[in-house]
Structure 1
Amino acid sequence: MFGDIHGNLPALRAALADMRAQGAEAFVCLGDVAMDGAWPRECVAEVAALGCPVVRGNADREMLEAPRPFTPRGLPDEREGWEIGNWGREQLTDGDRDVLRTYRPTVSLPDLLCFHGSPERDNEELAAGTPEDRLEELRATHGQQAAWVGGHTHKPLLRTLDGWTLLNPGSVGLPFERRSGGYVNLARAEYLLIDRAGGGWQVTFRAVPYDVEEVRRGLLASGMPHAAWAAGDWVAE
């Protein structure tokens, strides 16, 4: 299980190579494939080549929508992010957009439900602090599978509830953490291995380091707006 690639091809390739080395036999992508990185088209193609189910994330949906006017929300660096998102949208061809249209709101496998934000909304955050009442409300509508796996928060999660487990693999291409009063992006590709074991699920979280300079070089060579600003946010482990 992997997702939140956000146009980061070196991270995606590092994650996929590690999955194969770990003996992964099947893949599910949890969405947010292309937006915000230097390689939007390449990431769409790399995921498509897997032939696996892909969930539609909020960023995938936004890539198919007309650009919205910039509306300040009082967040740091929001105009830069908005302009980079628009640039990524413009890189896609009609064929790339056709691929994004094949992404699904949810992917249901035997005793396993996969989504992006939540089964109801692609931008809802299900996290360690989400009230159990909200989770049970979602389960009453969307299914009683023993494991639910979502993305969107970019934070790994294993939360055990009454008879089921809520999981998040973290982010392949844009894991972040707060340092010195700001945020940095870490050159580690996060994903999740999940296997059947003893009638339940065995879960392994993976975080694969890769060359941060390859990401920085790609951003600076991409032609995206604010490339130097974006490259400055990346750090090694």
Structure 2
Amino acid sequence: MRLAALSDIHGNLHALDAVLADVATTGADLTVNLGDILSGPLWITETAERLMALGLPTIRGNHERQALAPDIAAMGASDAFAAERLLPQHRAWLAALPATLQLTDELFCCHGTPDNDLVYFLESVDAGGMRPATLAEATARAGGAQQGVPHGVILCGHTHVPRGLRLADGRLVVNPGSVGLQAYDDAHPHPHVVENGTPHARYALLTRRPAGWQVEWRAVPYDAEPAARLADRHGRPDWAGALRTGFVVETAQAGAPIGPVTSRA
């Protein structure tokens, strides 16, 4: 079996199309979407329509939950932008998405951790910023998901960082990275930045081998300039800089996080 794992599209239709075109060259049997689909200043309705037509196995991320909240005025800028553009059919689709998904006997899908869509799985944040999670931290966050399953895999997203970690009991945790946004800053629970260093759209390709799962993190080139210009037109130079470079770029909005992590964005 060969599986393409996508996450954190954030309304970036051009990045999504580049990834889907690349997936088509790999012979993948199945593609799964790990959430945070629409939030951000880009192509909201267009991305929703594209994914609804594809019918991929999909879970919700924290931004699906946040964008469906009743009070748009209380939302952060990225969720409010999405919420104001969602049509009834988009809302119904998002509301029906599960928080987690047992995709196969060996593959379990969540957005943050198995029991919390806001918790970083393979990263930890303290007063010094963000760092890779320790084995003990990641094991505690995994809980009982896939425990005792030979070659069990937990797929997660949320942090936009392409990374994998094998737990001591053999479970493999895989974050495919973000399709649509390669850098952000956030203030929760401490100020920190995520920077992947290039604007490539990212996903992971998992192939079942006799000895277990082979994982390939793929960075797909695409023209990020239209997305960056659209972000600029919608008053988000912070997103525009991140889309163009894969780094958090200082703008006139410095101090206002891009933050695809919480509803403050």
Structures share fold, TM-score greater than 0.5: yes
Give, in whole Å, the separation in 2 of the partners of 1:53 and 1:6.
17
Offset at residue 22 of structure 1 (A): 1.6
Residues 1:23 and 2:27 are matched in the alignment: yes
Poorly superposed stretches of 4+, deviation over 6 Å: 181-185
1:25 partner amino acid: D
Q: Is the 8 A contact 1:67 1:86 kept in 2?
A: no
Residues 1:143 and 2:146 are matched in the alignment: yes
After TM superposition, the structure 1 = structure 2 runs for residues 99-110 of structure 1, keeping only pairs within 5 Å, are 99-108=93-102, 109-110=104-105
Q: Which residue of 1 aligns with 2:177?
A: 170
Residues 1:96 and 2:100 are matched in the alignment: no
Give, in whole Å, the separation in 1 of the partners of 2:208 and 2:218.
17
Q: Which residue of 2 aligns with 1:2?
A: 6
TM-score for the superposition, normalised by structure 2? 0.75
User: Deviation per CA, 1:22-60, whole angstroms, max 9, x where unpaired?
Assistant: 222211100000001311111122222221211110001
How many aligned positions are there? 221
After TM superposition, the structure 1 = structure 2 runs for residues 136-215 of structure 1, keeping only pairs within 5 Å, are 136=140, 138-140=142-144, 142-144=145-147, 145=149, 146-162=152-168, 163-176=170-183, 186-215=198-227
The structure richer in helix per residue is 1
Matching residue within 39, 46, 57 for 1:42: 46
Q: Is the 8 A contact 2:73 2:80 kept in 1?
A: no
Q: Is the 8 A contact 2:182 2:242 kept in 1?
A: no
Identity across the alignment (%): 34
Secondary structure of 2:143 counterpart: helix
Cα distance change, pair 105–205 in 1 and its aligned pair in 2 (3 A)? same
Q: Which residue of 2 aligns with 1:87?
A: 81
Secondary structure of 2:24 counterpart: helix
1:48 partner amino acid: M
Cα distance change, pair 229–122 in 1 and its aligned pair in 2 (3 A)? closer
Give, in whole Å, the separation in 2 of the partners of 1:97 and 1:10.
22
Q: Which residue of 2 aligns with 1:115?
A: 110
1:193 partner amino acid: L
Offset at residue 84 of structure 1 (A): 3.5
2:114 partner amino acid: P
TM-score for the superposition, normalised by structure 1? 0.83
Q: Which residue of 2 aligns with 1:218?
A: 230
Q: Which residue of 2 aligns with 1:14?
A: 18
Offset at residue 139 of structure 1 (A): 3.0
Unaligned segments of structure 2, at least 5 residues: 123-131, 186-191, 247-265
Q: Is the 8 A contact 1:184 1:235 kept in 2?
A: no
Offset at residue 134 of structure 1 (A): 5.8
Q: Which residue of 1 aligns with 2:253?
A: none
Secondary structure of 1:126 counterpart: coil
